[in-house]
Every structure is written in C-alpha cells, then in structure tokens.
C-alpha cells in the first residue's frame, strides 16, 4: 500500500522530561520518527516540553513547539496548526496518554484529527487490566491469575485457590510501597494486612507469582496489510521478578530451543494482529524453565525503551519503520536502511551477542533502597556487543562507569559466604558482582541457581570469567592465556591487575604479539547480504571489517549511560559536534555505549563504534582510525576524564588542552588563575585528612560547602554547619586521601547564576546569562533557571560577563566552558568552572538560537569566532523569557529524600517560554506536572530559620484566598503574627495530621524546609512522601515558592474591599 | 584442546578446536543464519553432503533433546561454529551437542571466525571444504578433485515402504530425504500417511489409492533424482499433489521447467515470501541450494504462486490444469516460523475440492 496522500501535516508528540522509566530512548524514537515522516514528504509538527533533546531542534521538524505536554497547550497548538493527524506512539506513555486525553476531551473529533499508528481501543485493550484480561482470554493466551482484594480474607481465598507464592501490590502507594511476595499463608496475612493499611483506597492486587520464570521479550512490528514480524527476541539474565528495565538483558534469546522460540513468536504475532497495531509493540512473556508453560506479562502498544535497545541490538530502526507504517507504507515497500538493498520485511539475524546492563543511581542516592523489584529504578543503561556472552558481559560492565572494569572490582570482603548468599535475594543492583564473588569463593553454581533461579547457562558464563581470572593468575605473561582472556572480554586493566602490572605493560605485550581487536559490522543479516552500515563493535577474531577511509577523521566521545548529573544533554551536544565535523569536511566517528540515545543511531555519524568508553577501548579505535583528533568536551565527565590519559598516549585532544583543562579542575591551579584575575571567590581550602578538614572549616567559618574533588553533579556534596557534621560527613561520604582530597568552601548565601562561554582563545562569546530561582545550596542542576536574568543588577551581570571572558582567555579555552556564580551582597563570586560543555548547552542553544556545540566544534577544528561574525562579550537577548525547570523521579525511589540540596537529584528538565516571567514560570510548572491551583489549602512546615520568610509567603497565599495549614511549630509562629492558620497534629498524635490530610486531598500545596541537623526528622519525611504519593505540589525551597506565588498572583484578580 | 582445520577450495584455511567425532570429512560448505534450531538443521536430510556453518556464534546452548530430531542421525557431514556451549541448559536437554556429535559420528570445529567465513561464502559462492586434523600438501588438491555424491537422495530415502495409519485422509508421501516435521504436520491433521521410497513406481503409489501425494524435501541437485520425474508426471494427473523443497524442484522439472544452482543458497528462516494471489507475506524456513529458473517456465503449464521478496527467487508453483502445487520453502518449519503452515490446510482443502469435483462429475 503506498503512503497516504490524504494527510499532509502530522503532529508528533514527544515524551517530555526524562524520568526513571521514560528516558533518552524517546528522543531517539521521536527524532527518528520526525525525520522519517519528513523523508516521506509530510509536514511535521513536533511538540515536546524537554529542551535537552535533538528532536526539538528546528531542523528535525518543520515546526517545533517546546511547550508543556498538557491538554490545554496541545489543544492550542492543534487549533493553530490544524494537522491532519497525530502520531502518538513514539512519545512513550506520555504521548499515548496525551492522545487518550485529547480524544476523551473531544478535541480530535472537533478538529477532525486522526490518530495514526494505533487505535485508542487497542491502547485500552493493552493497558486496561480488565480489557487486557478479556483479550488474552479471547486469544487463549495465558496471563497470570489475579484478583483485586479489599480484605485480607479475599487475598487468602485467592491464594488458596491458585496456590503460593502470590504477589501483593497495594494500589496507589509510592513506588509500590508495602508490596511483596508471600510464600505462604502467614506471610500473606502480614503482607496483605500491611498493604491494605498503606493503600489509600484499601485495595491490593493479588497475583499468582511467576517469579523465577524465564523473562522473554519480543519486539514486534505490524503494518496495515497485516504483515507482522519479530525484530528481536531478548532473554533476561534475571528471571521474572525484577522489572525488565532493571534486569540484565541479552539478545537474542539464549537458552530457548527453536520450539520454544517459535511458540512464543506465534503468541507475539497473534497479539499484535489482534490489537491491529500499525507500528511496533513490546511483548513481555514469562516461560516456565521446566515446561512449555508460558504467560503473557505485559504488552506495550507503542515504541518503548526495549524497542530502542532492540533497534541498537539488531540495527533495525524500529521507530523509523513505525513512522512509515503509520502513514500507510507496508513493510515490503520499505527498504531496509541497513543493507540498502533488501526490504524491511525481514527478521534480523544476529551473529553476535548483546548484553544490556542497567545503570542505577545508587552511587548518588546512598540512602535509597538498592533492592530491585517490580518498580524500575535505573536511570539509564549500557549495551555491549561481543562474539560471545563473556565478552559482551565484561564490555557492558566496564561501560557502566561505576569504577569497575571487571567482575573482580567490586568485592564483598566484609560479607561471609552465607551473608552473601542471603544478599542474592531479593536482588540488589550489584548482584552480578555478588555472584562472581561467590563463584570465586568456590560456592557452587547450583547453589546460586537454587537461590536465584538464574539460568545455569548464564551463571556458567560468570563462572567461566572467574576461571579465566584464576588461570591468568597462574600464567603471568603467557600469551595464549592473554589471547584467551581477550577473546572473553577481559580488559587490559583487569589482566594488569591480576598480573600486578600496569595497563600499559599489558597493552605493550599485546601489541608486540599483534593481539589487536578487529571490528565487525552490525548488519541485521548475519553477513548474508552485503551491507553498508557504518556500525561496528570490537572483538578478538580473524577478520577486521572496519575500513579506514582516506578522508581525515575526528572521533567524538559520547557520554555513556544516563545517570544523575549526566543526562541526555550531553548526547545532544555530541550529536551537534558530529554535524559540525561533517560540515567542516571531516569524517565524524562516534564512540558511545548507550543504546537509548540519538548519538548511537548509526545514521547520525559517518561511523559508529558501539564500545565502552574506557582508555583501552578508545585507544584501540584510535589505533585503527588514526583520527586528526579526539573531541572530549561534549561527553560530560566520562569523556573529559579521558583527556589526560589520551594525551599521555600521544592522542591529539581537540579544543582546550589538557593542561588548561587541569588548570580549571585542579583546585590549587585554579586558585592561581582566580588570584591572577583578581576575581571574587568564596574562601576555599583543600584537605587530605580529617584533621586538615576540621581546621580548614574552622578557619573558613561555618557553614561550609564540602565535596570530594573531581565530581559531576555535586556527588557527595553537602553543606555542613558544625565540627560534628563535618566529622560525620568525612566518615560517611568520602574516603579522603592524598589522591582524593576534599574541597571545603565558605558557603555564601545568595542567588546563583551561570554562564556558558564559547571561546577560541581570542574571542570569548557569552551567549546568555542564566539566573537561578533557588539560592546557592540547591544544586544548579536542580534549580529553576531563567533566561534572560530578571533580577540580577547590571553591575552583577557585568561582573559575570567580565569574569567569564577573563577566565576563558586565561584558561585558553577553545570550545565551551561553564562558569557558575553566587551573587552575595550584589557581587558575583565565582564558585565553579567546568572546562567543557555543560548540561545547560541545549537550553541556552535553543533560547539564543545559537548552535553552541556546533560552533564550539568549528572552533576546535580551527575556525575563528571573529570570522564567523562574533565578537567578545554578551549576546543580547530578545524579548522572550525562558524558564528551565528540573524534573525529579522521587515516585520511583521512595527512599530518596526529596529535600533539595547541593547533591543533584533531578533526572530531567522542561522549558517554559513566554513573553513574561510569570507566564513562562506557569508553563514550566505545568510542564513539570505541577498542578497550579486557583484556591485551596497550603501546608507550611518550615525550619526555624525560615519562619520569618515563610510568614510573608503565607500572607501572600492568604491574600490570594488560600487557607493556611501548618504543623505545630510553624503554625504557632504564623498565628502569633496574626495569620489565620489551622494547626495539624504530629503524625503520632492523632489522625488530624498532614499525611492524612494529604491522602484525603485536603491540601493542595506543601511547603517544607528543614534544618541541616534535622536529617532524621521523621514527620517531615513522611509529609514529603505523602505529598509525592498524592501528586500534591511540594516545595522544599522558599525561592521556588516565591516563583510559584508570582504565577498564582499573575493569574489572579485583585479582590479588594471599598475603603 | 585438539586443533582442527577447515580448508576451503579457494585455499583459505581456518584453524579451530575439534569437537564431536574424530574423523576428516570433505563436503560442500554452506551457511545457515538461524539463531536457534541447530538440532533440527543438523538432522535435516536436505543437509546431507554439506558442512554447515552457523552464523550465530553460540551453538549448543540448549543441548540436544529427544523431540527435535528431523531424522535419526546427523545429516550434515560436519558443523562449523564460533563457540560451543560449555554448559548447555534446557529442561528438555538429554546431552550436550558435542557429546551427541561424538556419539553419532559427526565431526565439528569451534573457535572459527564464522562471520569472516560466511562473507567468504557470500562473495565466492558455495565452496567445497575439508575438515581435517592436519593440513598436508595434498589436502587442497584432494579437495579440488573431490566430487559430491550424486546418489544422495538414494542414500537418504527410506528403503522400504511404511505407514502411520489413521482414519484420516490418505497421503502418499514420497521420501526424497524426508524431514520429520512433514510427518508431524500431517499427523497433526490426522492424515493416514504412507511413506514410499524415492524410486517408487507410480503404479505402486496409485495401488495404495491415496487421496493426495506429497513430494518431500531432500538433499542435492534435483537432476540427480530425475528418475522420479516420470512418477510425478503420472501421479499429478490423477491425484492432488503438493511438493516441498526438493519435491518442488522435481515437480517443476516434471512439468518442463529447469533448475539452477544458487550462488550461496537460502538457508535460514528470516526470508519473507510473497504469496502472489493471496497478497500475504510469510516468514519461511528455507534450506535450498537450487532454485527453479523463471525463464524456463515460459512454455509450461506452471504458474508462479510464491516468490522471495528480495531476490525474487521462485518459491512456489501451481499447475494450471491439475490440483498440484509446490513450495520451495518448508511450511512444516522446524526450525523456523510457523507462518506458512496453512499450506498443509490448503493441501487438504484441495484434496477435498478434488473429491467434490470427482463426485459431481461422476
């Protein structure tokens, strides 16, 4: 069927901000979809609230709207643009929900807009529990038996009928709190009772547990002609029981015979055909490891995280194909873009093994519950490709960038065998390392299988790695063992550690024996047909397929897995760098390990190496490609950390030199720069022992800001106010040493602001000043940020611009740099310099219309800013106001305290733009899913130090007609200041407390601040959790409340009595 | 680990580790792109006289089980893999693949860069190869002089006639190197199956009074089994007929078409085939080195019913005046997708229709 000509204009809905469970994969799918539709000649309108995305670049669609993904705003866009159709299946759950809302509100009918890809009825059938059950029954496809219980007796009755174990899931609790698996009657009694108690609607779902079954996923496509195919099959290393987003996943399936594969394929195709999906679907299934029995767990009627993974794992671009199918093309009409000769109607054949490992945020959130379950907790993932499982697994491990190069780098010396066995279940994020350690200690594979039910095939792969570790130890410098270890994915660094040598010694031995990796192509067809895809992975085999072209090339290092502090913003910059390199006439080569991103779409660069970003892996590619240089400025801390070792190995780093990068990052050297330039800076010191730290802090004077050196995203950064807190911090958060000093700065109270600088060493351009809403103390990545500044004085702005220009010149910056300031008593103090592209690059690029990453790349390649028409100084702003707001994923991580501080906690960002600050703020709040109420009740529960400030805020709420509620201490202060206030009891005292009020929807806004020493206060924590659970706007910084009030006041009319 | 070498007709040598039986073999070298189903492929008699290279690098992951044999013994001469599983794991597994290979006399080689090897086969075309423990000066010359057997069908077929009696429709199945999956597909439909040797005479088959004839798959060049052509010509006029794989090629030859050797064949199950009249696409299980020549159909009564969507190889034929059709792929799958299984139902429907016609005409 040819593509449809009755539609001309299509709106693509993005997925909004990055949150746990909905991340960069939707930038990839949305970008692919938009480009794919444009390629077919359609007018593409794109809407997304997330500025840190490639999809919101003006060249991706004909028109791009960065607006809140709310009914109200989408409707405005629809009425303005009048598209013929909407493609909602590529923007995650957000996109689908938006489509549902638009339809239910009658807007689609009203404007005669069609939904492409998947009918709403199909979405309902896949997502609504009851309808899904009905559909599966009609198709004779089994799903785990389940029921909804409102009493413990009902729960017991179900379990008696269907057998134990059963899973208990309380309805509407934060992150599934209170759920669990009951193995027997007495456990169920306890869990069900607790779950019912915790559920605000006194309801639990009881489901027959299939934990321990093999978890299998199929990525399936179908077109309007009913052609259907399986793009990829995947098998989880971790059996059913852990969310697939938190599971180690392999592709293709490994332990299934063809009979089992075909049985499940039949089921998958039957389901996609029954749902009449036109596009892609993800189907999750559970297979009994001891019979043909299987269950359908879940069907996602849209492109998903798994489909991004499947696309990268197979080379088959699912989202691109899905978009073409949505406009009527059939799979046999679409050319497979990988081969360029065969049709998209084929099922990819892999001739390699893929392993995905999730990247969890527990390095940042030390208080979080590391146990894995049905709620996804990972912020990102890595993928690795090898010619065997061991190779793919070890490459994935070192791609994680968690300080472990091999399975021997995370040890559990303080745990006994028994304790370690116990720790296997329920699984934690580091279970793979535990398994390795147990096998190393000689615990049998069978014992580990019995405990975890992980397939023996997979456990044996880990055992094999341990055996190689041991053989290596017995055969130092033996080339045969070296080769064997390399074929099984061992890093030089791991071998070096086992041999008590340096990594470069192993590398030299390897080179002297010509033991070098080859690069094989990912071609979707297992070499059956010739392909032109420039998509490669390293392995130790006979034939190298990566042909180095005659063209001069530049390698861009990506940013690896998405984690707190290093998000999709860096992928954005990476992709832009590639574009600029290509435009300058060079071949652009990307190295990255993250399957979710646009940068690992093989059509983005001239060549893609899907490889870990470690020194060894990067040097190997450089050895082959011999690029003119390597770009490290856009890959966040991942890439910048490689600058020094690469330079040491004779590699040319483009842009700012390593020497100058070090001058910015090394405390002492940087102090010299600051002193030379006579820039104001908070007093700071470096300490290498606890005693040093104490004396430094006393000298500076409390409060001080303390953190380890060389960090990203404020890891382990805290404000401490006393010797006790400092000692506690030194014990808890860091291992201080000569190599790893801690930095101690005077904590200046004041507003924060920052600038990005584009410099070629001669000209330094400041594209814009960003003013933070929250004062210093809240991490810049967690602050709302406004461009252009609304409150900063001319004097301060002038100081910032001058400081940034002087820093850029003094540090010989070639490329980008970010400078952060605190504005204390109307003076701009420099608090931090990052000599690389920062997370603000996409935002500032979008609001200033200056493609900063591209300009910076051109500069690194030798162009002069003056020749491009730039001159030193601040670029004037236009008359729009733009607000960037952080987005958090607290609902997924119930144990992480939602209080904001110097440690970054946000996972994503949104942007609100309009003609005035209140309007832009309003959009930013709406885009953040913060309900902006017109009236209602506000709860104040604030620290003593904040009471005075809170009072003025409470008065403003009162003037707007809001009723003020407060906890005892805050309430009495407000009441004493003649404010009408209703005081709520402590949670332990009575039911007339804040948590109950939140559950009963009595409170519309919660404002909570705490003293630094109140870390353990329980009521505050419970109140914050209850606010998050019940989706009530929660503010933990009074500055944010002020901004919120500005919005409320701007939307309100004055009601004033006659005098 | 014992070393073993794979020597190709063009002089390439791949070194690897030996597993399975300790014997040297010479045969045609072909590659298979299926990511599962090694047990079915190895025992598929159409692979007789061939060394299989598996493009998927991990082979043997789920061992060998009781139920997935397509014939009782290995059909392939040898297998070439990148890695053989150390510890296979599956609830149905009886023994590991190397154990079974050793017991049943099939040699294998692992540790080979199978992707490089596949690319070589793709570019040079199918080649003869020798799997040897030692490469001597004569290895290559012996290999170059090696001639594939032209009696492969005769070697593969049943020596005697046998039956799986049921009360269902009677199918005479002519065995050219029959895959068990065809028997399973017919058994599933309750058919009363009578299996005849490849060189059976038409009269013998007709004497059994079958409702339908099924020509099975089998190994090698269809010309080598040309003796079956008169039988097919006699049968197709009288009884509804279906051909699979080699059976399809023989059916084409019997009706005046010609066959040719493909450069590197179709072996795997991710190829889509278009059913021209039904406008449907199916993923099909394929294993063939020869194909029917489209140009040779000009003056025949054969109509193309199926074709491969990429290289447009003929994948199915129908005879204009009779109830007879054939497909190049395996609707019986095993290994591979079940998409085309409906063809067995079409076959049974065709038989029923033919009966109706006979009754009406009577």
Residue A733's pLDDT band, with cuts at 50, 70 and 90, is low
- A746 a known binding residue? yes
- A831 a known binding residue? no
Indicate yes or no: CB of B62 within 8 angstroms of CB of A332. Answer: no
Residues B95 and B163 grouped into a single domain: no
Strand order in the sheet with A380-386: A294-300, A279-287, A214-222, A228-236, A249-251, A353-359, A380-386
- pLDDT tens by residue, A631-651: 999 999 999 999 999 999 999
Q: What ipTM describes this predicted complex? A: 0.97
Return phi, psi of residue A988, to 5°: -75, -15
Site from A528, A530, A538, A541 to mutate, B interface, most B CB atoms within 10 angstroms: A528
Report chain A residues whose CB lies below 8 A from the CB of B81.
Answer: none
Report chain B residues whose CB lies below 8 A from the CB of A541.
Answer: 113, 115-116
- A112–B contact, CB cutoff 8 A: no
Residues B129 and B245 grouped into a single domain: no
Report chain B residues whose CB lies below 8 A from the CB of A389.
Answer: 58
Nearest CB among A233, A460, A520 relative to B87 is that of A460
Residues B49 and B101 grouped into a single domain: yes
Strand-pairing partners, residue A453, are none
- B218 a known binding residue? yes
Tell which A residues from 454 to 513 touch B, by Cβ distance under 8 Å. Answer: 455-457, 460, 464
SS3 B215: strand
Report chain B residues whose CB lies below 8 A from the CB of A290.
Answer: 91
Instruction: Answer whether residue A729 shows pLDDT above 90.
Output: no
Residues B246 and B175 grouped into a single domain: yes
- Using a 10 angstrom Cβ sphere, with 0-12 exposed, 13-18 middle and 19 or more buried, the burial of residue A102 is buried
A998 touches A1026 (CB < 8 A): yes
Distance CA A526, CA B58 (A): 13
Distance CA B222, CA B219 (A): 8
Residues B29 and B122 grouped into a single domain: yes
Distance CA A887, CA A354 (A): 31
- Token look-up 């594969």 returns A261
Distance CA A11, CA A86 (A): 5
- pLDDT tens by residue, B124-166: 999 999 999 999 999 999 999 999 999 999 999 999 999 999 9
Tokens describing residue A211: 């934990």
Output the pLDDT for position A712. 46
- A227 a known binding residue? no
Tokens describing residue A565: 């502090």
Indicate yes or no: CB of A345 within 8 angstroms of CB of B91. Answer: no
Chain A residue closest in CA terms to B283: A346
Chain B residue closest in CA terms to A525: B33
**Number of A–B residue contacts, CB under 8 Å:** 151
- pLDDT tens by residue, A510-556: 999 999 999 999 999 999 998 888 999 999 999 999 999 999 999 99
Question: Euclidean distance between the first and final Cα of chain B, in Å?
Answer: 71
Chain A residue closest in CA terms to B65: A257
Instruction: Answer whether residue A176 shows pLDDT above 80.
Output: no
Chain B residue closest in CA terms to A335: B310
- B246 a known binding residue? yes
Tokens describing residue A32: 């692919």
Instruction: Answer whether residue A215 shows pLDDT above 60.
Output: yes
Domains, chain A, ranges and CATH?
A: 9-126 (3.40.50.20), 145-208 (3.30.1490.20), 214-348 (3.30.470.20), 357-515 (1.10.1030.10), 520-654 (3.40.50.20), 655-682+748-878 (3.30.470.20), 683-738 (3.30.1490.20), 931-1059 (3.40.50.1380)
Instruction: Answer whether residue A1010 shows pLDDT above 70.
Output: yes
Instruction: Answer whether residue A1000 shows pLDDT above 70.
Output: yes
Tokens describing residue A208: 């027959």
Report chain A residues whose CB lies below 8 A from the CB of B67.
Answer: 259
- A345–B contact, CB cutoff 8 A: yes
Output the pLDDT for position A1012. 56
Indicate yes or no: CB of A332 within 8 angstroms of CB of B272. Answer: yes
Instruction: Answer whether residue B180 shows pLDDT above 90.
Output: yes
Output the pLDDT for position A689. 86
Question: Euclidean distance between the first and final Cα of chain A, in Å?
Answer: 74
CA A606 to chain centroid: 26
- pLDDT tens by residue, A543-555: 999 999 999 999 9
A679 touches A803 (CB < 8 A): yes
CB atoms within 10 A of CB A731: 11
Tell which A residues from 286 to 315 touch B, by Cβ distance under 8 Å. Answer: 289-291
Q: How far is the alpha carbon of B333 from chain A, nearest alpha carbon, in Å?
A: 9
Indicate yes or no: CB of A332 within 8 angstroms of CB of B333. Answer: no
Q: B97, B119, B145 — which closes off a domain?
A: B145
Peptide bond just before B335 cis, omega within 30 deg: yes
- Token look-up 């901004």 returns A1043
B240 touches B350 (CB < 8 A): yes
- A450–B contact, CB cutoff 8 A: no
Domain with B128 in it: 3-145
Distance CA A485, CA A1004 (A): 60
Distance CA A555, CA A574 (A): 11
Instruction: Answer whether residue A722 shows pLDDT above 90.
Output: no
Instruction: Answer whether residue A948 shows pLDDT above 50.
Output: yes
A751 touches A779 (CB < 8 A): no
Residues B111 and B180 grouped into a single domain: no
Residues B251 and B354 grouped into a single domain: yes
The answer for residues whose C-beta is within 8 angstroms of residue A305's C-beta and 6 or more apart is A21, A22, A23, A25, A245, A381, A596
Residues B201 and B217 grouped into a single domain: yes
Sheet strands (E) in A475-583: 518-521, 535-539, 553-557
The answer for residues whose C-beta is within 8 angstroms of residue B95's C-beta and 6 or more apart is B63, B64, B103
Q: How far is the alpha carbon of A261 from chain B, nearest alpha carbon, in Å?
A: 8
Chain A residue closest in CA terms to B333: A262
Distance CA A385, CA A612 (A): 10
Q: B98, B129, B145 — which closes off a domain?
A: B145
Nearest CA among A706, A833, A822 for reference residue A757? A833
Nearest CA among A315, A461, A237, A480 for reference residue B83? A461
CB atoms within 10 A of CB A121: 11
Burial A375-398 (b: 16+ CB within 10 A, else e): bbbbbbbbbbbbbbbbbbbbbbbb
Nearest CA among A268, A207, A72, A60 for reference residue A842? A60
Task: Fill in the DSSP letter of residue A5.
Answer: S
- In SS3 terms, A846-864 reads as HHHCCCHHHHHHHHHCCCC
Indicate yes or no: CB of A252 within 8 angstroms of CB of B281. Answer: no
Catalytic residue ranges of B: 245, 330, 332
Residues B305 and B324 grouped into a single domain: yes
Residue A1016's pLDDT band, with cuts at 50, 70 and 90, is very low
Tokens describing residue A1021: 């924590």
B36 touches B64 (CB < 8 A): no
Return phi, psi of residue B139, to 5°: -50, -50
- Using a 10 angstrom Cβ sphere, with 0-12 exposed, 13-18 middle and 19 or more buried, the burial of residue A41 is exposed
- B217 a known binding residue? no
Return phi, psi of residue A105, to 5°: -80, -5
Nearest CB among B61, B283, B337 relative to A255 is that of B61
Distance CA B70, CA B53 (A): 18
- Token look-up 């809905």 returns A13
User: Could you tell me the CATH number of the domain that includes residue B226?
Assistant: 3.40.50.880
Indicate yes or no: CB of A527 within 8 angstroms of CB of B270. Answer: no
A146-149 vs A204-208, strand pairing mode: antiparallel
Residues B138 and B184 grouped into a single domain: no
The total number of structural domains in chain B stands at 2
Q: How far is the alpha carbon of A42 from chain B, nearest alpha carbon, in Å?
A: 27
Q: B145, B170, B188 — which closes off a domain?
A: B145
A1038 touches A1007 (CB < 8 A): yes
Average pLDDT taken over every residue of chain B: 96
- Cα angle A842, A848, A852 (rounded to 5 degrees) comes to 50
Residues B62 and B126 grouped into a single domain: yes
Residue A598's pLDDT band, with cuts at 50, 70 and 90, is very high
- Cα angle B86, B89, B92 (rounded to 5 degrees) comes to 135
- Token look-up 């064997």 returns A484
Tokens describing residue A238: 């971790």
Tell which A residues from 621 to 680 touch B, by Cβ distance under 8 Å. Answer: none
- A208 a known binding residue? yes
Report chain B residues whose CB lies below 8 A from the CB of A527.
Answer: 55, 115, 118-119, 122
User: Could you tell me the CATH number of the domain that includes residue B100?
Assistant: 3.50.30.20
Tokens describing residue B261: 């050797």
- Using a 10 angstrom Cβ sphere, with 0-12 exposed, 13-18 middle and 19 or more buried, the burial of residue A661 is buried
Residues B163 and B75 grouped into a single domain: no
H helix runs in A717-851, sequence order? 723-732, 794-810, 841-848
- pLDDT tens by residue, A957-990: 999 999 999 999 999 999 999 999 999 998 888 8
């Amino acid at each position: 069927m040819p593509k449809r000509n009755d539609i001309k204009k299509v709106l693509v809905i993005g997925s909004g901000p990055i949150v746990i469970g909905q991340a960069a994969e939707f930038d990839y799918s949305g970008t692919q979809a938009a480009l794919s539709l444009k390629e077919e000649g359609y007018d593409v309108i794109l809407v997304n609230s997330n500025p840190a995305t490639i999809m919101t670049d003006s060249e991706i669609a004909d028109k791009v709207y960065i607006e809140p993904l709310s009914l109200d705003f989408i409707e405005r866009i629809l009425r303005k643009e009048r598209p013929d159709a909407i493609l909602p299946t590529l923007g995650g759950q957000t996109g689908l929900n938006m489509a549902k809302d638009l339809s239910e509100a009658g807007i689609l009918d009203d404007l005669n807009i069609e939904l492409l890809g998947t009918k709403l009825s199909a979405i309902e059938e896949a997502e609504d529990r009851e309808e899904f059950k009905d559909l599966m029954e009609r198709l004779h496809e089994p799903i785990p038996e389940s029921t909804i219980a409102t009493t413990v007796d009902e729960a017991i009755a179900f379990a008696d009928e269907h057998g134990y174990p059963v899973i208990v899931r309380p309805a509407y609790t934060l992150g599934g709190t209170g759920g669990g698996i009951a193995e027997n009657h007495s456990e169920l009694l306890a869990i069900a009772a607790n779950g019912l108690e915790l559920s605000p609607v006194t309801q639990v779902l009881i489901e027959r547990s299939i934990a321990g079954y093999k978890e299998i996923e199929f990525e399936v496509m179908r077109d309007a002609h009913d052609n259907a195919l399986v793009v990829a099959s995947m098998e989880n290393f971790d059996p059913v029981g852990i969310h697939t987003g938190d599971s180690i996943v392999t592709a293709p399936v490994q332990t299934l015979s063809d009979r089992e594969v075909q049985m499940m394929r039949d089921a998958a195709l039957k389901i996609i055909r029954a749902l009449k999906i036109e596009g892609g679907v993800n189907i999750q299934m559970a297979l009994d490891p001891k019979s043909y029995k299987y269950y359908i767990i879940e069907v996602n009627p849209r492109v998903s995280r798994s489909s991004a993974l499947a696309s990268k794992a197979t080379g088959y671009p699912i989202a691109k194909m899905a978009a073409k199918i949505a406009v009527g093309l059939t799979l046999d009409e679409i050319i497979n873009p990988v081969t360029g000769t065969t049709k998209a109607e084929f099922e990819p054949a892999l001739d390699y093994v893929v392993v995905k490992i999730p990247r969890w945020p527990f390095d940042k959130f030390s208080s979080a519950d590391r146990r894995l379950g049905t709620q996804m907790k990972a912020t990102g993932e890595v993928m690795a490709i090898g010619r065997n499982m061991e190779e793919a697994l070890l490459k994935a491990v070192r791609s994680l960038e968690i300080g472990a190069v091999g399975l021997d780098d995370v040890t559990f010396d303080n745990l006994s065998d028994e304790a370690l066995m116990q720790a296997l279940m329920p699984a934690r994020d580091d279970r793979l390392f535990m398994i390795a350690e147990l096998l190393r200690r000689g615990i049998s594979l069978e014992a580990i299988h019995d405990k975890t039910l992980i397939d023996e095939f997979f456990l044996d792969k880990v055992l094999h790695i341990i055996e190689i570790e041991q053989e290596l130890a017995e055969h130092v410098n033996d080339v045969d063992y070296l080769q064997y270890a390399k074929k099984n994915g061992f890093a030089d660094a791991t071998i070096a550690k086992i041999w008590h040598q340096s990594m470069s010694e192993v590398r030299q031995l390897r080179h002297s024996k010509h033991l070098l990796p080859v690069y094989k192509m990912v071609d979707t067809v297992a070499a059956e047909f010739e392909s032109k895809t420039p998509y490669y992975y390293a392995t130790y085999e006979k034939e190298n397929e990566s042909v180095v072209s005659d063209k001069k090339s530049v390698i861009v290092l990506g940013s690896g897995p998405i984690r707190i502090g290093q998000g999709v913003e860096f992928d954005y910059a990476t992709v832009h760098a590639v574009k600029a390199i290509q435009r300058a006439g060079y071949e652009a080569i990307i190295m990255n390990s993250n399957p979710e991103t646009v940068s690992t779409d093989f059509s983005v660069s001239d060549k893609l190496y899907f490889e870990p970003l470690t020194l060894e892996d990067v040097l190997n590619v450089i050895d082959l490609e011999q690029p003119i240089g390597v770009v490290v400025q856009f890959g966040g801390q991942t890439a910048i950390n490689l600058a020094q070792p690469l330079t040491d190995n004779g590699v040319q780093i483009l842009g700012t030199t390593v020497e100058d990068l070090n001058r910015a990052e090394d405390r002492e050297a940087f102090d010299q720069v600051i002193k030379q330039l006579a820039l104001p800076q908070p007093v700071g010191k470096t300490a290498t022992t606890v005693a040093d730290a104490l004396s430094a802090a006393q000298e500076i004077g409390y409060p001080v800001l303390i953190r380890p050196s060389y960090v990203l995203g404020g890891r382990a950064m805290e404000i401490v106010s006393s010797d006790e807190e400092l000692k506690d911090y030194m014990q808890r958060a860091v291992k201080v040493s000569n190599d790893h000093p801690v930095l101690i700065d005077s904590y200046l109270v004041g507003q924060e602001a920052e600038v990005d600088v584009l410099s070629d060493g001669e000209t330094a351009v400041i594209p814009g000043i960003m003013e933070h809403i929250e004062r210093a103390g809240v991490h810049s990545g967690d602050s709302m940020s406004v461009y252009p500044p609304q409150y900063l004085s001319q004097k301060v702005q002038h100081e910032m611009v001058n400081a940034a220009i002087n820093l850029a010149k003094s540090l010989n910056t070639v490329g980008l740099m970010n400078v952060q300031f605190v504005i204390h008593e109307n003076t701009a103090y420099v608090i931090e310099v990052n000599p690389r592209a920062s997370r603000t690059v996409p935002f500032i690029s979008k609001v200033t219309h200056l493609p900063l990453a591209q300009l910076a790349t051109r500069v690194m390649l030798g162009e002069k800013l003056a020749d491009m028409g730039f001159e030193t100084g601040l670029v004037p702003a236009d008359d729009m106001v733009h607000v960037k707001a952080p987005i958090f994923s607290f609902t997924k991580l119930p144990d992480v305290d939602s209080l904001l501080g110097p440690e970054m906690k946000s996972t994503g960002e949104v942007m609100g733009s309009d003609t005035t600050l209140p309007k832009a703020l309003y959009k930013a709040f709406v885009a953040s899913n913060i309900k902006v109420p017109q009236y209602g009740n506000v709860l104040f529960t604030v620290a003593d130090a904040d009471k005075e400030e809170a009072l003025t805020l409470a008065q403003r709420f009162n003037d707007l007609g809001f009723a003020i509620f407060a906890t005892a201490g805050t309430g009495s202060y407000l009441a004493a200041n003649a404010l009408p206030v209703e005081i709520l009891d402590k949670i332990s005292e009575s039911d007339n407390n804040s948590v109950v009020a939140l559950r009963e929807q009595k409170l519309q806004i919660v404002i909570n601040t705490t003293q630094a020493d109140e870390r353990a206060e329980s009521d505050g924590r419970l109140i914050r959790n209850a606010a998050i659970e019940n989706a009530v706007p929660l503010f933990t910084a009074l500055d944010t409340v002020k901004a919120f009030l500005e919005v409320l006041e701007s939307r309100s009319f004055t009601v004033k009595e006659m005098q | 680990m014992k070393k073993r070498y794979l020597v190709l007709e063009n002089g390439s040598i791949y070194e690897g580790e030996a597993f399975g039986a300790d014997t040297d073999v010479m045969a045609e070298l072909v590659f298979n792109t299926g990511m599962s189903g090694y047990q079915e492929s190895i025992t598929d008699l159409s692979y007789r006289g061939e060394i299989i290279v598996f493009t998927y690098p991990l082979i043997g992951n789920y061992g060998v089980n009781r139920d997935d044999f397509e014939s009782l013994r290995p059909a392939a001469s040898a297998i070439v893999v990148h890695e053989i599983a150390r510890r296979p794991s599956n609830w149905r597994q009886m023994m590991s693949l190397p154990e079974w290979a050793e017991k049943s006399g099939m040699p294998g080689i692992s540790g080979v860069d199978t992707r490089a090897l596949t690319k070589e086969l793709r570019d040079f075309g199918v080649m003869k190869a020798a799997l040897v423990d030692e490469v001597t000066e004569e290895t290559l010359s012996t290999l170059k002089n090696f001639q594939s057997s032209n009696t492969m069908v005769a070697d593969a077929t049943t020596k005697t006639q046998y039956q799986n009696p049921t009360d269902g429709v009677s199918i005479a199945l002519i065995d050219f190197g029959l895959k068990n999956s065809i028997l399973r597909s017919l058994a599933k439909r309750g058919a009363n199956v009578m299996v005849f040797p490849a060189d059976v005479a038409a009269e013998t088959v007709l004497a059994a009074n079958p409702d339908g004839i099924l020509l099975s798959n089998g190994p090698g060049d269809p010309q080598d089994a040309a003796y079956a052509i008169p039988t097919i010509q006699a049968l197709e006029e009288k009884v509804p007929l279906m051909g699979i794989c080699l059976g399809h090629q023989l059916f084409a030859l019997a009706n005046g078409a010609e066959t040719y050797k493909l450069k590197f064949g179709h072996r795997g199950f991710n190829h889509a085939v278009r059913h021209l009249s039904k406008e449907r696409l199916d993923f099909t299980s394929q294993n063939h080195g020869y194909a029917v020549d489209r140009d040779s159909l000009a003056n025949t009564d054969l109509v193309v019913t199926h074709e491969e969507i990429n290289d447009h190889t003929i994948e199915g034929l129908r005879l204009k005046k009779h109830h007879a059709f054939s497909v190049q792929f395996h609707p019986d799958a095993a290994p591979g997708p079940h998409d085309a299984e409906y063809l067995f139902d079409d076959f049974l429907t065709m038989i029923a229709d033919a009966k109706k016609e006979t009754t009406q005409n009577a």
